[in-house]
Structure 1
Amino acid sequence: MVRQSVTPLGVQTSIGDLGTPLSEVTFVVVDLETTGTSASRSRITEVGAVRVRDGEILDEYTTLVDPDTLIPAEVTLLTGITQSMVATAPRIEKVLPELLAFLTEDPDSVLVAHNAPFDTGFLKAACEREALEWPAPPVVDTLRLARALLPVPKVRNHRLGTLAAYYGASVTPDHRALDDARATVDVLGGLISELVPLGATSLEELRAVSKPPTKAQRARRHLAEDLPDRPGVYVFTDSRGHSLYVGKSNNLRRRVASYFTAAESRRRIREMAGLVEAVTPIVCATDLEASVRELRIIAERKPPFNRRSRNPENVRWVKLTTDAYPRLAVVRSVKDDGAPYLGPYRSAREADEAREALLHALPLRQCTHTFAPPERTVPRCVLAQLGRCGAPCDGTQGRDEYGVHAEEARTAMTADPAVVVDALTARIGELSAELRYEEAASLRDRLVAFLRGARRSQRLTALASVPHLVASRPGDRGWETIVVRHGRLASCAVLTPGTDPAAFLNSLTATAERVPPGPGPVPNATAEEGELILDWLTTPGTHLIEIEGEWTCPLRSAEAHDRMTHWAHGRASAQ
């Protein structure tokens, strides 16, 4: 075994020239020689690893490995490693912990290999056999990078020897682990240098590269040059000023620049690059403000290249009607009618599943009979004949008796869902005991949908009922402070060190948006905005500064029954 610190081999592009993020990355370049190509049947015969950062080789590790099996003649012919060479070498149970320690000496190290799935496959298999935990580092595959950045016939092929010659590597790969790893270091530097004119300067961009940027992408890289390094929203527009795409980021300039590099592989976004003529930045005080503004702009302008959040109005709610004999209906909007609502749901199917969960637990009618005039009756339906409805249609069940079930449904939707949870979990248990797993899974999905909608509507309703709320939490630049009124973000700013807190708070609340009360869980904002605000408010370290009214949820709310969701899911699917 040889382990040594060395000086840089040859001339290599400095990673520091390619951007600060990559200059801070420690790469560990690994190469293995093996007795064959199957990670499960073949064994490792040699290991070579090189640690490099900012273009400088910091350390090396290499050793032969006794594979405890015969080395095929063709492998010896290829690598020059003979049976006698490995006879006195350490076995893998000694080598593997040393290699893993070398790989993880810097906990943020990135593993690099040429055809990385081959090397990582052997290392994972060895870890499994030796009962060692694979550290699962981020991986960069120089073969995949080369295929993306150096198409044939720019190079004859993408073998390590071909690429090493193309970049003038200081070491010629010869199917020995350390020399191949050293050559891969130079190939990595060369490939990174290919990315410099393409604008990819971070590790995330390096790992995301799948194909070279289009001419349209390269031609528009200048659009990011004058953008601020601040959090906010960016809007791509075409030659007519129409919005094409809206996004948000903690760093506007860096994020917009990434759309015009090889790191951007989404087909639709690459197509959009050919249409972009300008980028409008909207600087925001905090990430929450950026997220909310993004949602609002997408909903208002409906950019064609945004797929998420474009149509927040296309949701479904489960409503308990206000008829004399209430029933459950799936509707598209919330009205000021005093009815309880469950949701919102992104699809009619999910809303139907939640509705079916309620109907499984409670014998509510499913007909659309209007009961006008009250004395008019109709023949009972099949559900009534099966005992799944009290048959108010033919007068069997009066308003008071039926109203008990309707009130239970209202309670389950707005306060305590126990009647639904108990009924469905009991039935799921029975079906599982009878080995009727598909039916149990279907019932589980209904319960999950019901609880998801109940939790969402209960949390949103509680927030929407608060006329005024001010909260603050520490951030990178100071105390991030928000004003929320009836479920809508009304104002947002950062209290920086040295600022008078009282004057800051008075100014923030005085200039905040005036928001009126309204019906339902989301009277003044989308459900997505409300949930963003709730997640922010419930993050540890957040302090309530001012509040009018009460912000409460029922003691036995749907959120308190989350454990039942997990139980039902596991009971029905673990069989």
Structure 2
Amino acid sequence: MSDPLLTKRGTNGPLMRAASRANVMSLVSAPSRGVGAGPPPRTDQLSFDELGTPLRDTTFVVFDLETTGTRPGRDAITEIGAVKVRGGEVLGEFATLVDPGMPVPPQIVALTGITTAMLHDAPPISRVLPAFLEFAAGAVLVAHNAPFDTGFLRAVCSEHGYAWPKPAVVCTVRLARRVLSRQDTPNYRLSALAALFGASTTPNHRALVDARATVDVLHGLLELLGPLGVHSLEELIDYLPEVTPAQRSKRGLAAHLPERPGVYLFRGPSEEVLYVGTASNLRRRVRQYFTGSESRGRIREMVALAQRVDGIECAHALEAQVRELRLLAAHRPAYNRRSKNPHGSWWVALTEEAFPRLSVVRTVRDGALGPFRTQAAARLAADVLAGATGLRTCTQRIPVRAPSGRPCVLAELGRCGAPCAGLQSESEYSPGVNAVIDLVDGRSAAPLETALRQLETLAEARHFEQAARRRDELAVLVRAVDRAHRLSALAAIPELVAAAPDSSRGWEFAVLRYGRLASAGVARRGVAPMPVVEALVAAAETVDPGPGPLRGAPAEEVGLLLRWLTRPGVRLVRTAVPWAEPAHGAGGWESWLARVETAVSLEYTERE
């Protein structure tokens, strides 16, 4: 075949498709081909409004590849076959041989019957790939041993400059292992499953024939999943048989939740909060914990303990994310792993003494640099900053008069003026202190420039390993200063109102005060937005600014709001004071950081 062959068929396949005889309450009936007795029909199935994307309305592209070997990126595709189905009806087929640009190994010829001569006039993958991607666009990909087939597709997409569309993928091998036991089938090969489900075609290691057989296997497996409560695409993707019947019976805990964005809280036997999460659709997301696949053992344990699920409806996703952060800090749920300590950041601050040094602290104060997520990152930034400004790194307190210490090794190396030994006066020491203050306040980036000159000196002296280490350390400091300036600039604003367009051509509003979300709301399409804004501002939380660069706001919340504000399409409605970042901060170092990241990437590639 010299070109991809696309045909459309309007008839049903050989099986009575499970999807085609679905009703409102159930997608599939009990299996009728003797694959075990199957579980008895359930009475607690999903209602129609609780379905995600019903399987009967889902378009599947069931495909198979033949290749010259098993290594994506090194071996090549020799044949593609695919069948597009929806609701039990075959919508079309795609089949073509592919010129691999290399000889077909003898063992592959023996397996598939595809010879090098057969592929002489076949189109190359560069012609076949766009046609197949168009054929499969918007559909769920299905394959027997899907990681193998999708691995080759991803490799050729990357090779020929196509972005991988990231479709939902269903692997019939994996699905069969979760549905069928060894009593049902001796193995999970396509030939065995095709015989089990009475497929109309017998697999023969040719792409289209194997794809047709996989269609019959898929529908046979869907028939078995229907009585287990799997009725939607989301439940199919998430399906996990390790969920016990007792856990599945808890689906009713989500019945009262709205189909709106918000935050959900799982509560235990003593009303304790076990887990907090966010969702764009509260009811659908919570039900997935009881019907879907959850590979994390601690979450399965949490679901088994849960006695109730509370939901807090939110205006939009931003409000839900902020409420999640606050609830995590308030309740410290045992089964959440992140964001339980909103004020647990690290800061770099000058000590209050005659000859100040840089100290890594937990308690934020005015003039501190941060926040840092880890103590190690804060210490690294402090060391780089001290080296660039000449501040001492020893921890002893030095009196202003008659210091009696002895110079250390750093003084001998010229990295410290030795105020401890009286070799540097307070006035001589103060320029380094002022340089740190000016950098944190955004008035000057002189310490960064000094550190860069030190780095260049090392490179010129051909101390490349040391220079690379200093470069990476300086990059950490630059990123920290840049983030600190961005966060502190937002946290300094008494009130800011912003709007983002929603998916229905309405507006999502957020009222920010001193780096906190004070109010949130929406104006649906056709609703005048400014009266909504005035109502939100009038009802907004009163926020009193606290100490430190972030005015007492949690760093994670300020960072979350900053990311939302800088998304494409977000508009400022009004602000009490101009929102501006320092002109002489680290923002001008973006091009340098980009070069550093490129250099690090190249070095990593060379090592590999």
Out of 404, 413, 430, the residue aligned to residue 403 of structure 1 is: 430
1:29 lines up with 2:53 in the alignment = no
Alpha-carbon distance change, 89 to 458 in structure 1, aligned in 2, over 3 angstroms? closer
In 2, Cα distance between the equivalents of 1:262 and 1:99?
Answer: 33
Cα offset for 1:334?
1.0
1:184 lines up with 2:214 in the alignment = yes
Alpha-carbon distance change, 354 to 71 in structure 1, aligned in 2, over 3 angstroms? closer
1:326-371 per-residue CA deviation (whole Å, 9 max, x = no partner) reads: 2100000113xx4x11111121111111111202211001223334
Q: Is the 8 A contact 1:35 1:72 kept in 2?
A: no
Cα offset for 1:275?
0.6
Alpha-carbon distance change, 163 to 498 in structure 1, aligned in 2, over 3 angstroms? same
Out of 520, 545, 556, the residue aligned to residue 548 of structure 2 is: 520
| Secondary structure in 1 matching 2:291 | coil
1:185 partner letter: V
Q: Is the 8 A contact 1:214 1:270 kept in 2?
A: no
Alpha-carbon distance change, 201 to 296 in structure 1, aligned in 2, over 3 angstroms? farther
1:333 lines up with 2:363 in the alignment = yes
1:516 partner letter: D
Q: Is the 8 A contact 2:490 2:515 kept in 1?
A: yes
In 2, Cα distance between the equivalents of 1:50 and 1:325?
Answer: 76
Q: Which residue does the alignment assign to 2:588?
A: 560
After TM superposition, list the pairs within 5 Å mapping 1:451-470 onto structure 2. 451-470=478-497
1:280-321 per-residue CA deviation (whole Å, 9 max, x = no partner) reads: 000001111100000000011000110010122322111122
Cα offset for 1:252?
0.7
Q: Which residue does the alignment assign to 1:234?
A: 264
Q: Is the 8 A contact 1:468 1:486 kept in 2?
A: yes
Q: Which residue does the alignment assign to 2:335?
A: 305
Cα offset for 1:459?
1.9
1:443 partner letter: R
Report which stretch shifted further, 61-70 or 386-395. Answer: 61-70
1:548 lines up with 2:576 in the alignment = yes
Cα offset for 1:94?
4.4
In 2, Cα distance between the equivalents of 1:73 and 1:470?
Answer: 67
| Secondary structure in 1 matching 2:420 | helix
1:460 partner letter: L
1:167-196 per-residue CA deviation (whole Å, 9 max, x = no partner) reads: 333333233332211111122233344444
In 1, Cα distance between the equivalents of 2:71 and 2:415?
Answer: 60
In 2, Cα distance between the equivalents of 1:193 and 1:432?
Answer: 67
1:103-145 per-residue CA deviation (whole Å, 9 max, x = no partner) reads: 423532343221223334555677789x675856534322122
In 1, Cα distance between the equivalents of 2:412 and 2:74?
Answer: 65
In 1, Cα distance between the equivalents of 2:335 and 2:409?
Answer: 48
Q: Is the 8 A contact 1:199 1:257 kept in 2?
A: no
In 2, Cα distance between the equivalents of 1:132 and 1:493?
Answer: 42
In 2, Cα distance between the equivalents of 1:136 and 1:29?
Answer: 16
2:61 partner letter: V
In 1, Cα distance between the equivalents of 2:76 and 2:516?
Answer: 61
In 1, Cα distance between the equivalents of 2:253 and 2:19?
Answer: 26
1:49 partner letter: A
In 2, Cα distance between the equivalents of 1:437 and 1:377?
Answer: 39
Out of 7, 12, 18, the residue aligned to residue 17 of structure 2 is: 12
TM value normalised by structure 2: 0.84
Out of 324, 327, 331, the residue aligned to residue 354 of structure 2 is: 324
Q: Is the 8 A contact 2:98 2:123 kept in 1?
A: no
After TM superposition, list the pairs within 5 Å mapping 1:173-252 onto structure 2. 173-198=203-228, 203=233, 206-209=236-239, 212-252=242-282
Q: Is the 8 A contact 1:325 1:399 kept in 2?
A: yes
Q: Which residue does the alignment assign to 1:157?
A: 187
1:314 partner letter: G
Out of 491, 508, 525, the residue aligned to residue 536 of structure 2 is: 508
In 1, Cα distance between the equivalents of 2:224 and 2:462?
Answer: 59
Q: Is the 8 A contact 2:489 2:581 kept in 1?
A: yes
In 2, Cα distance between the equivalents of 1:73 and 1:106?
Answer: 30
Q: Which residue does the alignment assign to 1:52?
A: 85
1:314 lines up with 2:344 in the alignment = yes
Q: Is the 8 A contact 1:103 1:111 kept in 2?
A: no
1:389 lines up with 2:416 in the alignment = yes
Alpha-carbon distance change, 171 to 453 in structure 1, aligned in 2, over 3 angstroms? same
1:293 partner letter: R
In 2, Cα distance between the equivalents of 1:364 and 1:12?
Answer: 76
1:484-505 per-residue CA deviation (whole Å, 9 max, x = no partner) reads: 1111111111123555555433
| Secondary structure in 1 matching 2:218 | helix
In 2, Cα distance between the equivalents of 1:142 and 1:92?
Answer: 29
1:407 partner letter: N
In 1, Cα distance between the equivalents of 2:580 and 2:125?
Answer: 58
Q: Which residue does the alignment assign to 2:134?
A: 104
In 2, Cα distance between the equivalents of 1:395 and 1:408?
Answer: 22
Cα offset for 1:266?
1.5
Alpha-carbon distance change, 201 to 422 in structure 1, aligned in 2, over 3 angstroms? farther
2:13 partner letter: L
Alpha-carbon distance change, 19 to 463 in structure 1, aligned in 2, over 3 angstroms? closer
| Secondary structure in 2 matching 1:105 | helix
1:452-477 per-residue CA deviation (whole Å, 9 max, x = no partner) reads: 22122222222222222222232246
In 2, Cα distance between the equivalents of 1:360 and 1:28?
Answer: 60
Q: Which residue does the alignment assign to 1:268?
A: 298
In 2, Cα distance between the equivalents of 1:234 and 1:182?
Answer: 43
Out of 309, 324, 337, the residue aligned to residue 294 of structure 1 is: 324
Q: Is the 8 A contact 1:515 1:524 kept in 2?
A: no
In 1, Cα distance between the equivalents of 2:246 and 2:565?
Answer: 42
Q: Is the 8 A contact 2:278 2:320 kept in 1?
A: yes
2:91 partner letter: L
Report which stretch shifted further, 285-294 or 224-233. Answer: 224-233
After TM superposition, list the pairs within 5 Å mapping 1:431-510 onto structure 2. 431=458, 436-476=463-503, 478-497=506-525, 499=527, 501=529, 503-510=531-538
Report which stretch shifted further, 216-225 or 86-95. Answer: 86-95
Cα offset for 1:389?
1.4
| Secondary structure in 1 matching 2:553 | coil
Q: Is the 8 A contact 1:144 1:210 kept in 2?
A: no
Q: Is the 8 A contact 2:98 2:119 kept in 1?
A: yes
TM value normalised by structure 1: 0.88
Q: Which residue does the alignment assign to 1:280?
A: 310
Alpha-carbon distance change, 54 to 390 in structure 1, aligned in 2, over 3 angstroms? farther
Alpha-carbon distance change, 485 to 395 in structure 1, aligned in 2, over 3 angstroms? same
Report which stretch shifted further, 373-382 or 263-272. Answer: 373-382
Q: Is the 8 A contact 1:440 1:572 kept in 2?
A: no
Report which stretch shifted further, 406-415 or 497-506. Answer: 497-506
Aligned length: 567
In 2, Cα distance between the equivalents of 1:41 and 1:476?
Answer: 42
| Secondary structure in 1 matching 2:396 | coil
Alpha-carbon distance change, 501 to 574 in structure 1, aligned in 2, over 3 angstroms? closer
Gaps of 5+ in 1: none
In 2, Cα distance between the equivalents of 1:561 and 1:132?
Answer: 31
Q: Is the 8 A contact 2:62 2:82 kept in 1?
A: yes
Cα offset for 1:198?
4.9
Alpha-carbon distance change, 523 to 54 in structure 1, aligned in 2, over 3 angstroms? farther
Cα offset for 1:555?
1.0
In 1, Cα distance between the equivalents of 2:342 and 2:424?
Answer: 40
Identity %: 46
Cα offset for 1:73?
7.5
2:8 partner letter: S
